[in-house]
C-alpha cells in the first residue's frame, strides 16, 4: 500500500518533486503579499512549496511562481 509514503509536493522554484519533509511551505503573512515560511506546515490557506534552498526561492520569485501559487494579485 502506498498509504504510508510521504505525500509528494512540487517545488515552485525548480519544479522537481520532493516529499513534504524535504520542502518548506510558504503562505502569505496576514494582510500582506509577502510569502513567509510556514514552519509547522499547519497554517490555513493556500501554500507554496519550495526546497530549503535560496536558488529555488530565487527561481520562484523570478518566475512569479509565488503569485501563481498563492493567488497574489
**Looking at beta carbons, which residue is closest to Zn ion?**
11
Binding segment for Zn ion (CB under 5 A), chosen from 26-34, 36-44, 47-55, 61-69, is 47-55
23: which 3 cell numbers?
520542502
11 forms part of the interface with Zn ion (CB under 5 A):
yes
Q: Are 13 and 58 in contact (CB under 8 A)?
A: yes
13 forms part of the interface with Zn ion (CB under 5 A):
yes
61 forms part of the interface with Zn ion (CB under 5 A):
no
Between 11 and 65, CB nearer to Zn ion: 11
- Of 69, 26, 19, 21, give the one whose Cα is nearest residue 50: 26
Q: Is 41 left (phi over 0), alpha (psi -120 to 50) or beta?
A: left
Residues that bind Zn ion (CB under 5 A): 11, 13-14, 51, 56
Amino acid at each position: 500500500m502506498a498509504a504510508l509514503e510521504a505525500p509528494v509536493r512540487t517545488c515552485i522554484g525548480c519544479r522537481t518533486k520532493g516529499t513534504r519533509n524535504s520542502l518548506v511551505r510558504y503562505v502569505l503573512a496576514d494582510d500582506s503579499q509577502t510569502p513567509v515560511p510556514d514552519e509547522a506546515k499547519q497554517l490555513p490557506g493556500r501554500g507554496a512549496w519550495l526546497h530549503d534552498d535560496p536558488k529555488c526561492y530565487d527561481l520562484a520569485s523570478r518566475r512569479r511562481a509565488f503569485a501563481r501559487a498563492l493567488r497574489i494579485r
